[in-house]
Amino acid sequence: MNINRRQFVKNSLVATSSLGLAGLVGCHSQAQSSQILVGITARPRMLDPRKATDALSSRINRLLYRQLIDFNERFEAVPDLASWQQVSDTRYVFTLQEISVFHNGQPLTAEDVAATYQSILDPDFGSAHRGSLKGITSIKVLNPKQVEFVLEKADALFVGRLVIGILPKNLLEQQHPFHEKPVGSGACEFVSLSEQKLVIQRRNDHIQLVFIPVKDATVRVLKLKKGELDIIQNDLSPELVQYCLKQPELAVTWHKGTNLGYIGFNFEDPLLAQPELRQAIAHGIDRQAIVDAMFSGHARLAGGLLVPEHWCGVEDMPAYEYNPQKAKSLLKELDFSSLPAGLVTFNEQNEPIISLSYKTSNDPTRIRLATIYQSQLKQVGIHLNIQSYDWGTFYSDIKKGRFQLYSLAWVGIKSPDIFQYVFDSEAIPPSGANRGRYRDAEADALIRSAGKTQELAKQAELYQTLQRHLQKTLATMPLWYEDQYAVARKGVSGNVLYSDGRLDGLLDCHKV
């Protein structure tokens, strides 16, 4: 995967100047055939890789810029621009592997690498990536092809943090507006940006990739049918995907994904703090039936943040099978003695009936999923009160702990240090993303032990033990990893999908 991408960029360096576009003479003109129109949900927020944090911007930046390292199918760090040698626990030397040229014609050297990361470490610049790199104490250029990074303390995951696109040193010194006019060394070169579209051009064949924001998913599909778009990747409701499957002019392709859907619990709630209630919820939701009905089988059941094929993944994660009778039995084991009156009632069979609030966004698919959970859990004696909000209000409430249950997804996880960010007792917002206020001494010890371990094999063992513990204690309820998919017009070919949702497949996409 990475070798092909590097070879693509290398070949593009010998490309000649761009072909002139023909006049606008209809959708089958030379101009139209030299463009691939990509439907996206919104305009990319940030084309400066040092400040990009949203998924769409990061995926487009991969096409515009190159980075020191990449990841293979097991999410292990592998060379992209540079190979590396770990000289000591705290010293790494990176060596550029090939001649790479920025889009303005300048050669990419170790000076550019050093300048890029020094700018990220500058607190006045305000890069969101500074936190993950703050352990760097010095960056030194050894020669035009080599740069040395020295760390404050050992960090076995350090190499995997060097995924920021490299920018030209001279333009950094001139405070060039990369967010408006990107200059990288990637497979695509920036052409233009407006509210209506972003245009970038592949360097090897001069095909333009035109990213067109269309907020409404239904309108996006209609534009695809009419030929106003050529391809859409993800971000459709399951119903719209099924609709596309039935359209003769469209084709749908799939690839297994890594994006994790999950249900979060508030551990400061006196009911949800009891493991029996969390287990009852896990046994009371038929995840496979939901995958089959909602996603037509295009998702796989999850047992944790990391997919099993990850180098730290768990192949045989214990599962909470759908078992309504067991869920009912677990509810009878709950301690109601310290609860205020009215929170729990009992039916004629003296079985407890528990009411819980469930918060979600106002996305129609998420609301539909919530109603399915509501229907299934009602059968075991748990009544969900669904509360849906606009994204801003919903997300603010989740960060502040204003919920009993909620559902979200983790997107694009690669590094196992995500566990510290999500489950460490000291990572409660705003210090991290431990939104459920999960506090567990054994989990903390495993997280911190793994973070201090320098041998990756031993680190993998610790993280695997941690994941089994998180599943046993139901720190969250993992649901499924949704498949990646693309919908394209017939005649569009060559697009390759990746498990993390990257857009690199557009580099080989063509249409007739």
Q: DSSP characters for 430-467?
A: TSSS-TT----HHHHHHHHHHHH---HHHHHHHHHHHH
Same domain, 445 and 496: no
Domain of residue 415: give its range: 260-482
Q: Does residue 381 sit within a domain?
A: yes
Q: Does residue 2 sit within a domain?
A: no
CATH number assigned to the domain comprising residue 233: 3.40.190.10
Same domain, 131 and 98: yes
Which of 179, 206, 229 is at the close of a domain?
Answer: 179
Instruction: For 328-340, write each residue's pLDDT tens digit.
Output: 999 999 988 777 6
Residue 341: its pLDDT value, please?
66
**Average pLDDT rounded to a whole number, residues 291-295:** 95
Which of 121, 153, 179 is at the close of a domain?
Answer: 179
Instruction: For 62-115, write each residue's pLDDT tens digit.
Output: 999 999 999 999 999 999 999 999 999 999 999 999 889 999 999 999 999 999
Say how far apart CA 123 and CA 131 lie, in whole Å: 10
Instruction: For 228-267, write each residue's pLDDT tens digit.
Output: 999 999 999 999 999 999 999 999 999 999 999 999 999 9
Higher pLDDT, 17 or 397: 397
Residue 30: its pLDDT value, please?
43
Same domain, 440 and 346: yes
Same domain, 173 and 294: no
Give the rounded percent of residues in the chain with a pLDDT score beyond 90.
Answer: 85
What is the domain count for the chain? 3
Same domain, 357 and 465: yes
Residue 351: its pLDDT value, please?
81
Residue 412: its pLDDT value, please?
82
Which of 145, 179, 213 is at the close of a domain?
Answer: 179
Same domain, 440 and 423: yes
Of the pLDDT bands very low, low, confident and very high (cuts 50, 70, 90), residue 480 is very high
29: pLDDT strictly greater than 80: no
**Average pLDDT rounded to a whole number, residues 146-175:** 96
Residue 407: its pLDDT value, please?
96
Same domain, 66 and 118: yes
* CB of 199 closer than 8 Å to CB of 108: no
Q: Does residue 4 sit within a domain?
A: no
Same domain, 222 and 279: no
Of the pLDDT bands very low, low, confident and very high (cuts 50, 70, 90), residue 23 is very low
Cα 449 to chain center, whole Å?
26
Higher pLDDT, 21 or 151: 151
Q: Does residue 251 sit within a domain?
A: yes
CATH number assigned to the domain comprising residue 356: 3.10.105.10
Q: Does residue 200 sit within a domain?
A: yes
Residue 205: its pLDDT value, please?
92
What is this structure's pTM?
Answer: 0.86
CATH number assigned to the domain comprising residue 163: 3.90.76.10
Same domain, 230 and 377: no
DSSP for residue 240: H
Burial class (CB in 10 A: 0-12, 13-18, 19+), 8: middle
Same domain, 374 and 512: no
**Average pLDDT rounded to a whole number, residues 178-207:** 96
To the nearest 10°, report the CA torsion of 425, 429, 432, 435.
70
Q: Does residue 54 sit within a domain?
A: yes
Of the pLDDT bands very low, low, confident and very high (cuts 50, 70, 90), residue 348 is confident
User: Which tokens is 108 given?
Assistant: 């990419």
Per-residue burial over 169-182, b if 16 or more Cβ lie within 10 Å, else e, is: bebbeeebebbeeb
4: pLDDT strictly greater than 70: no
Of the pLDDT bands very low, low, confident and very high (cuts 50, 70, 90), residue 52 is very high
Q: Does residue 7 sit within a domain?
A: no
**Average pLDDT rounded to a whole number, residues 315-326:** 94
Q: Does residue 19 sit within a domain?
A: no
Same domain, 467 and 423: yes
Same domain, 161 and 308: no
